[in-house]
């Protein structure tokens, strides 16, 4: 074997690397491992190329799935060269995969490095701290990274979204030299942007920048003219076929599709969480394919081989999405629906499914892809969903003698301006309390501090622990009014509140995300709950809490009949949704022929 040749073992390191490449480096082959091992053994303790050799050996051992050996090699590389950041990064990532996140964080913290390498380690630290739930630690790591070099859009995006989650206001604080408020908005990321602005062109520009950074164009796989099947083959692609809000909305739509006209395929990138809703969703497909372990190209080619006529992406620009699959254009017609309530400017997407209220005709041109309205309401709902029994005030720890305003949306949707409005509502209604979900310890502390600044008794803001989906639904019945967020409205939670007979008050804006709740209120005839200014929103909330006759009349509109005849009419929705599918199938990708 070449690796046992004493002449090669004593050769210059560049010759060893060349020999490894000739054998097949990067594949964990035994001959390459033996080559680096023999060369390292022949060197003096402080040979200048020894750290690189240990690093290469660690890489090869990692490919060979020898985790213990790879860890030892990376540690040896760092012992020989403490500033070897690449070795620290790889070692930390390996430890993370082995279920040792704290050891990985320790490696990244202790590594010595110049600025460029320090940035990489800080960003890895921030990512892992965010995943482990330490939002403040993650934000501090990313801020340190940005103070070293500010031109990092991905770091900016995560840093800002962490600030949103912690209610660390103002979110767009100009505390990083070189980053203006305009820069921060531009790099905020698609999801964060929905809670920062309701200006559609701005949302689209932010999303386009993200798409350009995260995806690459690929050659189209599907034939332009499509296929000619007896039944239209619909493919649904998602990473949320599990206990996720999207699945709780859409499961019955899958079940109710007209099988005489449609063949329904599911392409799943989600983990198997063992939940009943996952079993139900998967069971609703005519054909189910897990693409979780497939590469984007392999998944796209699988969809192409299945000759899917219309591929519907249910993620959009949300975590876990597989947009790169769509860039291969595996289906002749591709649309996005439900998962992301905003522009998804991916060239290979043909349609954005919506309705003519959430995206009115006068702003449709600002969206990408082309908005295609479902007649009536855009949102699917599940009539079979398990709903817990309505809970009493005592069961959920609420006072019996207070008017209870609530909002169970994630805290990143709560803006400084909206919270100030809520405080004005509390000041105008002495007997009221505000009931929020206990999202995280940092947002809870920051919101309590804001209550004090607003001159409101901190005991009037209450927090509910997260619970299972059925109990959460039952808990909604204990409140008096749901206060919606702006510019990112409640979507699934808004329909949940209406379903449980909980009156909702919303502020409608210009974007899809800021018009969702208003669409639902109009659907049940609760027009009085839709406002267009913060002043009107505050006045309406105070009016409902102080005028009991007005409140009683408004609450009467949130009846079971109102729900079942509108948002809960899944049979009617399915027919209207399928009519939209037929329009798409007829278009064959000719998006310019479809208009609002």
Of the ranges 56-70, 79-93, 398-412, 581-595, which one carries the lowest mean pLDDT score? 581-595
pLDDT class for 592, splitting at 50, 70, 90?
Answer: very low
The superfamily (CATH) of domain 393-564 is Glycogen Phosphorylase B; (3.40.50.2000)
Residue range(s) occupied by CATH 1.25.40.10 in the chain? 2-180
The pLDDT tens digits of the residues spanning 478-504 come to 999 999 999 999 999 999 999 999 999
pLDDT at 377 over 90: yes
The predicted model gives 102-115 an average pLDDT of 77
pTM of the model: 0.82
Least-confidence region, from 382-386, 407-411, 423-427, 555-559: 382-386
Where along the chain do the CATH 3.40.50.11380 domains lie?
232-383+584-593
4 has pLDDT over 60: no
pLDDT digits (tens, 9 = 90+) for 460-475: 999 999 999 999 999 9
Higher pLDDT, 106 or 551: 551
pLDDT mean over 12-31: 87
Q: What pLDDT score was predicted for residue 112?
A: 60
Instruction: Check pLDDT > 90 for residue 419.
Output: yes
Which residue is it, tokens 């921060």? 184
Contact present, 13 and 38 (Cβ < 8 Å): no
Q: Which of 292, 359, 288 is nearest to 322 (CA)?
A: 292
d(CA 515, CA 532): 10
The Cα–Cα gap between 52 and 237 comes to 42
Per-residue confidence at 113, pLDDT binned at 50, 70, 90?
low
Q: Where are the CATH 3.40.50.2000 domain residues in the chain? A: 393-564
Average pLDDT (354-363) is: 96
Confidence of residue 41 (pLDDT cuts 50, 70, 90): confident
Looking at residue 7, its pLDDT comes to 65
Q: Is 273:282 a contact under the CB 8 Å cutoff?
A: no
pLDDT at 1 over 70: no
pLDDT over 90 for what percent of the chain?
A: 81
* pLDDT for position 317: 95
pLDDT bucket at 590, cuts 50 / 70 / 90: very low
Helices (H), 236-322: 245-256, 276-284, 296-305
Mean pLDDT in residue range 323-336 = 98
Q: Are 538 and 421 in contact (CB under 8 A)?
A: yes
What was the pLDDT predicted at 10?
A: 66
232-383+584-593 belongs to CATH 3.30.1330.30: no
pLDDT band at 118 (very low <50, low <70, confident <90, very high): confident
Phi, psi of 462, deg, nearest 5: -120, 150
- As given in the structure block, the two tokens for residue 75 are 């540690």
Q: Residue 8's pLDDT band (boundaries 50, 70, 90)?
A: low
Strand order in the sheet with 432-437: 461-464, 432-437, 403-407, 481-483, 504-507, 530-531
Tell whether the model's pLDDT for residue 6 goes beyond 70: no
Report the distance separating Cα 192 and Cα 179, nearest Å: 17
* Better-predicted residue by pLDDT, 330 or 42: 330
Q: What does the alpha-carbon distance between residue 149 and residue 120 come to, in Å, rounded to a whole number?
A: 11
pLDDT class of 356 with cuts at 50, 70, 90? very high
Report, as an integer, the average pLDDT of 269-288.
95
CATH class for the region spanning 2-180:
mainly alpha
d(CA 205, CA 189): 10
**Cα–Cα dist 24/14, whole Å:** 15
What average pLDDT does the chain have?
93
Summarize the confidence of residues 47-75 as an average pLDDT: 90
Q: Return the pLDDT at 142.
A: 96
Q: What is the pLDDT of residue 249?
A: 96
User: How much is the average pLDDT of 537-542?
Assistant: 98
Q: What is the 3-state secondary structure (H, E, C) of 380-442?
A: CCCCCCCCCCCCCHHHHCCCCCCEEEEECCCHHHCCHHHHHHHHHHHHCCCCEEEEEECCCHH
Tokens of 409: 């949306």
């Amino acid at each position: 074997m070449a690796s046992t040749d004493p002449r090669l073992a004593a050769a210059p390191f560049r010759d060893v690397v060349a020999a490894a490449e000739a054998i097949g480096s990067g594949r964990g082959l035994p001959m390459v491992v033996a080559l680096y091992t023999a060369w390292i053994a022949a060197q003096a303790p402080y040979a200048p190329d020894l750290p690189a050799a240990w690093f290469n050996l660690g890489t090869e051992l990692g490919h060979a799935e020898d985790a213990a050996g790879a860890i030892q090699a990376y540690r040896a590389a760092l012992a020989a060269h403490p500033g070897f950041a690449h070795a620290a990064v790889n070692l930390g990532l390996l430890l993370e995969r082995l279920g040792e996140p704290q050891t990985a964080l320790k490696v990244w913290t202790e590594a010595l490095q110049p600025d460029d390498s320090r940035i990489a380690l800080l960003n890895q630290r921030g990512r892992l701290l965010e995943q482990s739930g330490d939002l403040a630690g993650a934000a501090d790591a990313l801020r340190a990274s940005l103070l070293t070099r500010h031109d990092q859009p991905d770091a900016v995006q995560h840093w800002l979204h962490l600030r949103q989650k912690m209610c660390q206001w103002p979110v767009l604080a100009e505390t990083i030299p070189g980053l203006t408020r305009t820069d921060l908005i531009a790099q905020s990321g698609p999801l964060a942007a929905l809670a920062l602005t309701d200006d559609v062109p701005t949302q689209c520009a932010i999303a386009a920048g993200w798409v350009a950074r995260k995806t690459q164009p690929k050659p189209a796989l599907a034939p332009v003219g499509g296929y000619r099947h007896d039944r239209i083959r619909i493919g649904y692609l998602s990473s949320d076929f599990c206990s996720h809000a999207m699945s709780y909305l859409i499961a019955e739509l899958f079940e109710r599709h007209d099988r005489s006209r449609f063949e329904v395929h599911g392409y799943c990138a989600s983990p198997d969480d063992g939940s009943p809703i996952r079993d139900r969703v998967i069971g609703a497909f005519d054909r189910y394919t897990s693409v979780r372990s497939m590469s984007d190209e392999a998944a796209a080619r699988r969809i192409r081989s299945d000759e899917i006529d219309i591929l519907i992406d249910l993620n959009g620009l949300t975590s876990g999405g597989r947009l790169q699959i769509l860039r291969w254009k595996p289906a002749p017609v591709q649309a996005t629906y439900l998962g992301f309530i905003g522009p998804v400017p991916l060239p290979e997407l043909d349609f954005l499914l919506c309705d003519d209220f959430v995206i009115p005709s006068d702003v449709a041109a600002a969206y990408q892809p082309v908005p295609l309205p479902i007649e009536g309401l855009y949102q699917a709902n599940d009539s079979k969903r398990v709903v817990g029994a309505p809970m009493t005030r005592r069961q959920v720890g609420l006072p019996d003698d207070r008017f209870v305003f609530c909002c169970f949306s994630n805290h990143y949707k709560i803006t400084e301006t909206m919270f100030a409005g809520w405080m004005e509502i509390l000041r105008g209604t002495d007997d009221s309390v505000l009931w929020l979900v206990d999202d995280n310890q940092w947002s809870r502390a920051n919101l309590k501090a804001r209550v004090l600044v607003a001159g409101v008794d901190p005991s009037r803001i209450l927090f509910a622990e997260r619970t299972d989906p059925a109990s959460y639904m039952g808990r909604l019945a204990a409140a008096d009014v749901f206060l919606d967020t702006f510019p990112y409205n409640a979507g699934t939670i808004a329909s949940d509140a209406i379903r449980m007979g909980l009156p909702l008050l919303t502020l409608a804006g210009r974007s899809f995300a800021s018009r969702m709740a208003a669409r639902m209120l109009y659907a049940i005839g609760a027009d009085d709950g839709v406002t267009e200014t913060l002043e009107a929103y505050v006045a309406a909330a105070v009016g409902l809490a102080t005028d009991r006759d007005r409140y009683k009349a408004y609450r009467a509109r949130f009846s079971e009949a109102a729900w079942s005849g509108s948002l809960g009419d899944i049979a009617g929705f399915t027919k209207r949704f399928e009519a939209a599918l037929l329009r798409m199938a007829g278009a064959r990708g000719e998006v310019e022929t479809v208009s609002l």
